[in-house]
């Protein structure tokens, strides 16, 4: 064991979260009920703009429900960046549709708009941008592109709470449907959980039905109306994607802390940026002018001048007890997804993958922990 290890991530769970979960456990109501309902209301108010928020048990579920409600099925194509987590693409296959992978921009790590437009065919129905590391994609450009071709947008905002584009919150910034994640190491957490946000009443109605077994009435009605427990109809083979009240109780507290969380991460990012400015690295992409960043991940890219390879850099940090991660091995390099790529190449994502490393960044990081990461990174990179 090394002295003073620094984990890649540690969730920020305080006494308030513990009290909220304990209260829920003592209440006798564990599954979807009043807490999940309150969480949806609070989340919708936080995003603003009159959105509907629908709580689910993962972002993957939200992505699946979003695409299903958009009517995606066999024969349809959905455009996905290759630099993302596999969940973004796998939901396309859940519905029997075909993901079409597109390379990203080196400057933003977000999907390349020109390549997106070039990838559109007569079968294309949806574009799924990922606000990479919490940096918003050019949603103005993407919306215009989607409108030119009659396409819908489902944005994967798993990294991006809170963030905004041109003064407008993620969830309102040009997408038809938005998916958020509350997985343990995301910007706020419910252990496992997710939220789907939309302003489209028809999409919201379909998502509500499909979230709970295709039952024709809202889950909350079912738990509050005494007759609804047995007087209901099933109108589709739906899914089992509802969020527990235990998780929602935690989410209500975490959501109240979301603005403090992003401020804490922004402070750590500024400290890292200043400490690494003279090293042979590319610093993480900044938000575009007029946008805000959630600072979910701090990703360095080693340049050719770096004295070590990315892999050796990770091993050197590991030897010092410092946790890191890699976001991501691009999907076109994965055994399963290769078959969907033909002979297309993705040189930008390949180059990012070869050189990128994500450093520890979390709300409860101590100054001493960050100073230790900085000292080790500088030592390994010859700073």
Ligand X SMILES: *Cc1c(COP(=O)(O)O)cnc(C)c1O
Binding site residues, ligand X, CB under 6 A: 58-60, 84-85, 87-88, 130, 156, 158-159, 181, 183, 194
d(CA 155, CA 176): 8
Residue 209 beta carbon to ligand X: minimum distance, rounded to whole angstroms: 21
Q: Which of 295, 291, 294, 292 shows the shortest CA–CA distance to 283? A: 295
Q: What is the spatial distance between Cα 146 and Cα 287, in angstroms, rounded to a whole number?
A: 22
Q: How far apart are CA 216 and CA 210, in angstroms?
A: 9
**Minimum distance from residue 326 beta carbon to ligand X (Å):** 13
Nearer to ligand X, 65 or 279 (CB): 65
In 313-334, which positions are buried (b, 16+ CB within 10 angstroms) versus exposed (e)?
bbebbeebebbbbebbebbbeb
Q: How far is the CB of 159 from ligand X (least distance, A)?
A: 6
Spell out the residues 6+ positions from residue 35 whose beta carbon is closer than 8 angstroms to its own. 24, 29, 245, 246, 248, 249, 252
Cis omega (within 30 of 0) for bond into 328: yes
**C-beta of residue 61 within 8 angstroms of C-beta of residue 72:** no
Q: What are phi and psi of 97, to 5 degrees?
A: -90, 180
Least distance to ligand X, CB of residue 247, Å: 11
Tell me the three state secondary structure of residue 116. helix
Q: How far is the CB of 105 from ligand X (least distance, A)?
A: 16
- Residue 186: active-site member: yes
Beta carbon of residue 308, minimum distance to ligand X (angstroms, whole number): 27
Alpha carbon distance 161, 259 (integer Å) = 9
Q: Work out how close the CB of 56 gets to ligand X at its nearest, in angstroms, rounded to a whole number.
A: 9
Q: Which is nearer to ligand X, 129 or 174 (CB)?
A: 129
DSSP letter assigned to residue 288: P
DSSP of 41-75: HHHHHHH-TT-EEEEES-HHHHHHHHHHHTT--TT
What span, in angstroms and rounded, lies between the C-alpha atoms of 53 and 30?
20
Q: Which of 186, 286, 318, 344 is catalytic?
A: 186
Specify the residue, 60 or 164, whose C-beta has the smaller distance to ligand X. 60
How far are the Cα atoms of 113, 137, 364 from residue 259, in angstroms, in the given order? 30, 21, 14
Catalytic residues: 186
């Amino acid at each position: 064991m090394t002295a003073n290890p620094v984990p890649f991530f540690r969730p920020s769970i305080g006494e308030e979260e513990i009290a909220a979960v304990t209260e829920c456990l003592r209440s006798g109501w564990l599954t979807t009920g009043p807490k999940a309902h309150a969480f949806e209301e609070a989340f919708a108010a936080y995003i603003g703009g009159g959105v509907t928020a629908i709580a689910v048990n993962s972002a993957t579920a939200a992505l699946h429900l979003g695409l299903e409600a958009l009517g995606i099925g066999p024969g349809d194509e959905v455009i996905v960046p290759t630099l993302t987590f596999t969940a973004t693409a796998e939901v396309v296959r859940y519905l029997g549709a075909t993901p079409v992978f597109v390379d990203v921009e080196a400057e933003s790590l977000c999907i390349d708009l020109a390549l997106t437009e070039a990838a559109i065919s007569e079968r294309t129905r949806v574009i799924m941008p990922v606000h990479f590391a919490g940096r918003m994609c050019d949603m103005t450009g993407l919306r215009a592109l989607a409108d030119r071709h009659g396409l819908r947008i489902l944005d994967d905002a798993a990294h991006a709470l809170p963030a905004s584009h041109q003064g407008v919150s993620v969830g309102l910034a040009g997408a038809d449907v938005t998916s958020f994640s509350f997985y343990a190491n995301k910007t706020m957490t419910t252990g496992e959980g997710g939220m789907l946000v939309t302003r489209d009443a028809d999409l919201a109605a379909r998502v509500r039905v499909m979230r709970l077994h295709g039952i024709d009435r809202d889950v909350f009605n079912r738990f509050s109306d005494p007759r609804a427990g047995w007087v209901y109809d099933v109108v589709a083979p739906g899914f089992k994607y509802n969020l527990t009240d235990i998780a929602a109780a935690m989410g209500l507290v975490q959501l109240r802390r979301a603005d403090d969380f992003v401020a804490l991460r922004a402070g750590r990012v500024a400290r890292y940026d200043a400490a690494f400015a003279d090293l042979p690295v590319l610093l993480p992409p900044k938000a575009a002018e007029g946008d805000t960043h959630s600072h979910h991940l701090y990703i360095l890219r080693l340049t050719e001048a770096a004295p070590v390879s990315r892999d050796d850099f990770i091993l050197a940090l590991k030897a010092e007890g410092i946790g890191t991660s890699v976001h991501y091995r691009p999907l076109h390099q994965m055994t399963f997804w290769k078959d969907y790529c033909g002979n297309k190449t993705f040189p930008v994502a390949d180059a990012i993958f070869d050189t990128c490393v994500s450093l520890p960044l979390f709300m409860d990081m101590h100054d001493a922990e960050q100073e230790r990461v900085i000292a080790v990174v500088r030592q390994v990179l010859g700073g």
